[in-house]
Structure 1
Amino acid sequence: MQKWVRNMKDLLNYTFFKWILLTIIGLASFLLLLSHVSPDTYNTRLFSVAEETIRSPKTIVDERLSEAERERAASEVEEVYQYKPEITNNRTSLISSIFDFAQEFNISAEEDVPPADQVVSNEMLENLKEALSEDVSENVTEFISDQTFIQLLAATDQGLEDAKGITIDQVERVMQEPFKQEEAALKKNSAAEYVAQFTLSDDLKSASMDLAKFAVVENNILDPEQTEARIAQAVEAVDPVQILEGQVIVQKGYLIDRDVYRQLEALGLTTSNTSTEPFIGLALFSLLIMLIIHFHFSSWKINEESKGLYLVLVSIILILSLSLMKAAELVRELEVLQVAYLFPAAMAPMLLKSMINTRVALIITMIQALCASIIFNDMMTGAINVEVSLYFLFSGLAGILFLSDNRRRTHLLRAGLFVSVANLIFLFSITLIESGQLSAIDYTIFAVYAVISGVFASILTIGLLPLFESGFGILSTMKLVELSNPNHPLLKKILTEAPGTYHHSVMVANLAEAGCEAIGANGLLARVGCYYHDIGKTKRPHYFIENQMSGHNPHDHLDPQTSRDIIIAHAKEGADLLRKYKLPNEFIDIAEQHHGTTLLKYFYYKAKEKGLEPDEDSYRYPGPRPQTREAAVISIADSVEAAVRSMKEPTPEKIKKLVESIIQDRLQDGQFNECDITIKQLETIKKVLCETMNGIFHSRIEYPEFKKEERKKEA
């Protein structure tokens, strides 16, 4: 797989290769989820009999019934009326004015006419009507008959005064309580009846009764603004009538009437009303998955080859997980209820955490949970199962968290057990929150499902992890731990054939691990890589000083060129040996890069002392220079350990000066130009290496020998 990715990378640049993989992810998710969002349709006709029970696949608002409910609520709102006492004052003032004008123009004003000859003339009537209709908002002459005016004009002043008081009092009496328009006729008659009870002349009583009827009007007036406000409030308070998800629309064997057919049409369940909206929504959902993965890999600061490899790995694991979900959902046809809780939801997160990192595992956990909410939707197309989504999310998070200390494969099984406990707690918590009335058997089934899910996830992870590691060349933490086992053939080889080199490698491993962890690099990779970095010395172990136990140095009898070739060759020979045993590329790179292109100074200057004119490039290691921070730290630690070990009396000051000189020499020689290590990180490494070396080569207390006499006394 790793070779295939490299071949594809040779044909395509990373950007194009990435979008091909993202498109595959998007298409796979779209196709696998398609059947779960495409609406079911039924060949139904109006007034036909339902051949099966039809349930609503989603929750929608029934607009027709909702509008009917709003209209009903509006019709039930009572009109708002407002009592206005000022109307009574206005009407009594108007009646008082009529009596006053009548008194001003009545017959008693004609003093030069004898009483026997006094008759109401048309001129008097017209003058009164003109006075009453001039500059007024209400022309009373249109509502009061001429006969009433004539009767007023014919009355005496005293009669008018009496009639005025009686009429006004009875109008006020009737209008002291609020009443509406429909009650006005009754109130008018009541006022007239009250007036009729008083002693007045017949004509004046008749006129007063007519004026009382005219004066009485409704004083409880409709308030249209408040009425409309109450109607709007009542309409707004009406909850929309919903067709709930899972609700039975029509039972099998029942007639499909107009209301049922309308609901089927609104839900898009008729063959004549198929909606494309679910497909558009699923396409956007698949696009969202693609963009999430794209933005993560775009912001990931690693080399493009590793990005491509990890993207292929993420694609395969995500599609594998979705395919397994689809297969598990098909088991539902066997009437296995709640099969989603059996699914090993923590498998994909644990695989990605083990092989890549926590961030990628978290992203895939969220994507997997979202997809599960659609796939395990209780066979209701278009529905979203939130409980299953949360279950997958918590299960995946538990797998990631409990796998944080994954230094052994057995920890995967332990993590699976913890995932089972987390699944169990989640299922019980959701059930109790919903106040579900479950039997003991139901709780037992949930417990079994939770345990199987967690254990099965760890078993699948343990089984698939070696396949992915070997196929993709992934160097996981557990793989590193396995390679650090002293029983590995190469480590046994270096221990038996070059014990000094083995001790040197262990010391360098301690230094390199401390340095890498201090700057945020992979300390475990540095440690295990150090165990193998000098494996090439096993070919000629006695030509390296740490293995010369007898003190005999064969280089004393060799010319500088031969010694140079032997020393320089150990890097290439070590890389070849690692390839032969199919060790990870990271170890091969460390073996080739831990000396970079540094100069073999001892033999270079030895050749000069012998009068030769050596080419400096021929006395340099072939490299390449360190490409990663881990390789850079190992190259420093390797030189520091060898140099300090050769010191006769190492002190903290000497060690510090030596470490500074080695790092400065490498910087000036450009050995760190091809890796992303910074000056600040080099300062941190220098401090850590000094502290570690001081701990190893600390000064020891000399215990003086006792004199023989003192020893005898103590004996």
Structure 2
Amino acid sequence: MKRNSRFSYNIFAEKNFIRNFILYFKSNIVPIILVISLAIVIIVPMFYSYFPAKLNLKEGDVSPHEIIANRDVSYIDVVKTEEQQERMAESVSPVYLLDRNKEDEVFAGVDDFFSSLTSILSSKDDEMLKREKLLDFFTNNTQIADFFLYEPIGRIEQFHQTLKGIVYKLMLAGVRSDKISQTTQMGLEAIAELDLEEEEKELLIYALNRTIQPNLIYDKKATEREIEKVRNAVSPVVITISKGDVVVKEGEEITADEVKVLKALGVIRTRDDWKVVLSIFAFTCIFLLLSFIAIKRSVVVNPGNIVKKTAEFAIIVSIVYIVSIFLDNISPYLVPIPLLAMLVFAFFDFPTALTVTLAFSFLLSFPLDLRSPIMFAVIVSSIVSMFLLRKMAKTITFLYAGIVGGLSMSFIALFIGLSSKLVFKQVGLNVSFGFINFLGGSIVALGMIFVMDHLFNEATVLRLLELGDTGAPLLRELLTKAPGTYQHSMVVSNLASSAAEKIGANALLARVGAYYHDIGKMFHPYFFTENQQAIPNIHDELTPNLSKTVIINHVKDGIHLAKKSRLPQEIIDFIATHHGTTVVSYFYHKSKESNGAVRKSDFRYSGPLPQNKETAIVMLADAVEALAHTVSNPDFNKIEEMVNSIIKSRVSDGQLNESDITFKDLAEIKDSFVRTLLSLFHTRESYPESDESRNG
């Protein structure tokens, strides 16, 4: 039963996985199509680079036309590498182990030899028996036996010491087990130089041959290890062909070395072609997977804009990739990775830009054969530029980031050039190209961002700076038609941007969102208190229900106007959420006085609620600014109490439930609001007028 239930569970789990996968695929069909299209854009040039027109050529064939390298390529010449390894292996000396015990054995053998000889000669045997013993001792060498039959014992001891001296020198030099005959020959040569009778020399030679032993024993395993170590230490013989080099001239017979180059370039079909295909596919999939994960995790991406964001990413990567292929023909220092980093940063965020830049750099290293030092230089300098852009408040910051990134790139390029001992002209070109890459990339990025901002209606930093200009058309119109609302929006923007900066939210987005949050009031400006200066209150002539309708409709009117003016969705969100689903309290209570059955829900805004910290801050700032005007003789305690009441009412009403704002954030927002309002309500001390001023 357990086995069956577990099996059933697995089936259901598998079905759920498949169902979820199908739902995910359907909900993300457009982004997936865009990613697949991007993969095609990337893979096709890679295949063209690695698999040009294939030729059926082999060693000895005549080249039908001139073949030029279409890219830099380096490959290991296996045959030449093995030849080099063999030459080095042959130079390795055999390894011998010194056996010190052998020296003692040899000297003991010499002592025993002469001791035995002395014993025979000093015995009291008769002459015949002594001769028989000497013949046996010298293995029937009658010449030596007869010569030493009457030799004095003292003379034998001299021969003993002489041989020990010769053996000592031989053993000290080392007697190799595989070359004992050469060592013996050296001993014989030493004996031959002695001033002795031939029979005496024969004695020493006989004794040497009987006693000498090797003290250096050949170690086969240690020798093999040394040979292997030397072979492994040999650097591979790398053949490098530069892009544009003529590999084979037309009509020339193709050599074995040229066949290797053509295989490395992919001109000749090989059995390993499938490995390159698999590598290209794997590199591309890894890049797209990492990038898509980074995009999905980006703070600026949500289900509502995932298609737009994926399209932006596909366009950016496609343009940069195609440009990279062309610029690499001039210099690898011109590959526009900085442009990619700046564009992804502008349309997404720093973590996404960092991930995409790193992944794209490694992807480009495959078809463009970018060397590690160049990749390092470009990546580090791009990160420097992105760090500078994080606090961007002006368009000029892009150029500043380009200049600083370019200087960083130039410095690293100079270091690489000098350490690689390149000629001065090439070093100068690399330094110049590195700087141009970043400065030019920042200028091109500004142009592309401007175009894509308006094409996709994006709220990038540059677009926000453009919309945040108080001379922007909608803001000028707001100032003209609803000057009170305009002033209210300016104060709200100050409150919101200061609070956003304090809690680490996007202060620029909060400021610009606050500028436009009330643009819907331009349709009926005099229905709102801030625009009723010097005129009667129009609501005195209207029913509470009608007044409520006009007041609530300013949100819908604002959304309509924002869409008509093609404001980014991020700005429209401020208009839609700045009242959330709060109640128009004044008219609700006024209506309830005459109709006790009135429903509070009829006097609520339709929402939606704020979805992020920036829109939540503007909601609070809008309410705080409006209520601040009702505080008489404002001081710190009164303002703090008023701000606290607004925040508590919004929290208790659930208006902040869908935003990611925390209670810690709310405490800091309150503190920021109080400080900002105190500075706004600050009044001068009154001073006694002088007589001159009173009279004049």
Q: 1:63: how far off?
A: 3.8
- Which shows bigger deviation, 489-498 or 457-466? 457-466
Q: What amino acid is the match of 1:145? A: T
Determine the structure 2 residue equivalent to 1:671: 655
Q: Secondary structure of 1:515's partner?
A: helix
Q: 1:575: how far off?
A: 2.0
Q: What amino acid is the match of 1:243? A: V
Q: 1:294: how far off?
A: 3.3
Q: Does 1:350 align with 2:345?
A: no
CA contact (8 A) 1:74 1:235 kept: yes
Determine the structure 2 residue equivalent to 1:181: 181
Q: What amino acid is the match of 2:423? A: Q
CA separation of 1:274 and 1:41: change in aligned 2, threshold 3 A: farther
CA separation of 1:496 and 1:236: change in aligned 2, threshold 3 A: same
> Which of the numbers 578, 581, 600 marks the counterpart of 2:584?
600
Q: 1:262: how far off?
A: 7.4
Q: Secondary structure of 1:582's partner?
A: coil
CA distance in 1, matches of 2:518, 2:694: 53
Q: How does 1:464-503 map to 2 (within 5 A)?
A: 464-503=448-487
CA distance in 2, matches of 1:313, 1:289: 16
CA distance in 1, matches of 2:545, 2:583: 13
Q: What amino acid is the match of 1:239? A: V
CA distance in 2, matches of 1:650, 1:675: 31
Determine the structure 2 residue equivalent to 1:76: 91
Q: How does 1:585-624 map to 2 (within 5 A)?
A: 585-624=569-608
CA separation of 1:414 and 1:579: change in aligned 2, threshold 3 A: same
CA distance in 2, matches of 1:532, 1:232: 79
Q: What amino acid is the match of 1:34? A: F
Q: Does 1:245 align with 2:246?
A: no
Q: How does 1:312-331 map to 2 (within 5 A)?
A: 312-328=311-327
> Which of the numbers 498, 507, 521 marks the counterpart of 2:491?
507
Which structure has the higher relative contact order (CA within 8 Å, separation 6+)? 1
Q: 1:608: how far off?
A: 2.6
Q: Does 1:695 align with 2:679?
A: yes
CA distance in 2, matches of 1:459, 1:548: 47
CA distance in 1, matches of 2:83, 2:154: 60
Q: How does 1:219-618 map to 2 (within 5 A)?
A: 221-224=216-219, 228=223, 231-232=226-227, 235-236=230-231, 239-246=234-241, 252=249, 271=269, 275-301=273-299, 302-328=301-327, 332=329, 338-341=330-333, 344-376=336-368, 383-386=369-372, 389-390=375-376, 392-393=378-379, 396-397=382-383, 399-401=385-387, 403-404=389-390, 406-409=392-395, 412=398, 427-439=413-425, 453-454=437-438, 456-550=440-534, 552-618=536-602
Determine the structure 2 residue equivalent to 1:5: none
Once the two structures are superposed, what CA deviation does each residue of 1:173-229 show, in whole Å capped at 9, x if it has no partner? 44242175224256458759969639xxx9xx7995785365453666455369827
- Which shows bigger deviation, 540-549 or 73-82? 73-82
CA distance in 2, matches of 1:406, 1:193: 96
CA distance in 1, matches of 2:505, 2:289: 28
What is the aligned-residue identity percentage? 26
Q: Secondary structure of 1:305's partner?
A: coil
Determine the structure 2 residue equivalent to 1:36: 49
- Which structure has the larger Rg over C-alpha atoms? 1
> Which of the numbers 59, 81, 86 marks the counterpart of 2:104?
86
Q: 1:543: how far off?
A: 2.2
CA contact (8 A) 1:192 1:209 kept: no
CA contact (8 A) 1:369 1:390 kept: no
Determine the structure 2 residue equivalent to 1:4: none
Once the two structures are superposed, what CA deviation does each residue of 1:91-132 show, in whole Å capped at 9, x if it has no partner? 22221343366469x6x44xxxxx7xx8549xx97xx79xxx
Once the two structures are superposed, what CA deviation does each residue of 1:563-583 show, in whole Å capped at 9, x if it has no partner? 222222222222222223232
- Which shows bigger deviation, 318-327 or 297-306? 297-306
Q: Does 1:639 align with 2:606?
A: no
Q: What amino acid is the match of 2:277? A: F
CA separation of 1:452 and 1:264: change in aligned 2, threshold 3 A: closer
CA RMSD, 1 decimal:
4.3
Structure 2: segments with no counterpart, 5+ residues: 1-21
Q: What amino acid is the match of 2:316? A: I
CA separation of 1:499 and 1:46: change in aligned 2, threshold 3 A: closer
Once the two structures are superposed, what CA deviation does each residue of 1:500-536 show, in whole Å capped at 9, x if it has no partner? 1211111111111112222222222222222222222
Q: 1:695: how far off?
A: 1.2
Q: 1:388: how far off?
A: 5.0
Q: 1:462: how far off?
A: 3.6
- Which shows bigger deviation, 645-654 or 59-68? 59-68
Determine the structure 2 residue equivalent to 1:379: none
Q: 1:261: how far off?
A: 6.1
Q: 1:448: how far off?
A: 7.1
Q: Secondary structure of 2:656's partner?
A: coil
Q: What amino acid is the match of 2:631? A: M
Q: How does 1:125-164 map to 2 (within 5 A)?
A: 144-146=138-140, 161=153, 164=156
- Which shows bigger deviation, 559-568 or 392-401? 392-401
Q: Secondary structure of 2:629's partner?
A: helix
Q: 1:311: how far off?
A: 2.7
CA separation of 1:536 and 1:190: change in aligned 2, threshold 3 A: closer
Structure 1: segments with no counterpart, 5+ residues: 1-8, 110-114, 130-139, 333-337, 377-382
CA separation of 1:223 and 1:652: change in aligned 2, threshold 3 A: same
Q: Does 1:656 align with 2:648?
A: no
CA contact (8 A) 1:188 1:214 kept: no
The number of aligned residues is: 658
